Structure 1
């Protein structure tokens, strides 16, 4: 699923960019002392908010593809179920 790969790759890239930015700003403000946990937490929150706005088109394309795949699977299931009912004589 190309849409999944694109969306996931962009989310990872956005997180890494946020982490680098937060770490750089933190190190500039605290003279090089950067704890491990807080920049991760802040970058996670920032990238989540940014991805909501910046990756909307990719998220919609991914959701559409998932919906189409689920509809095909449901259709095939109903088709097999109807065939079984016919074969049993119901």
Structure 2
């Protein structure tokens, strides 16, 4: 995709992953090398609420590719369904 954007063009990258598991941060890093690019990234809060217990399971850890190091930045007490706003 990056090669298809003319040099110096104003670009908008709209990222709407079906599932955060399938979004790799390396995609964002490559697109960020464009000279002029803005990002709009959609994270489905409804999906996260519905699947939070499964997504926060350290054995599963599907967010590590999309959000490297996120577990180190989120307090342990925040890693539960009870901690989410209603």
Shared fold, TM over 0.5: no
TM value normalised by structure 2: 0.26
* Structure in which a larger fraction of residues adopt helix: 1
TM value normalised by structure 1: 0.25
Structure with bigger gyration radius: 1
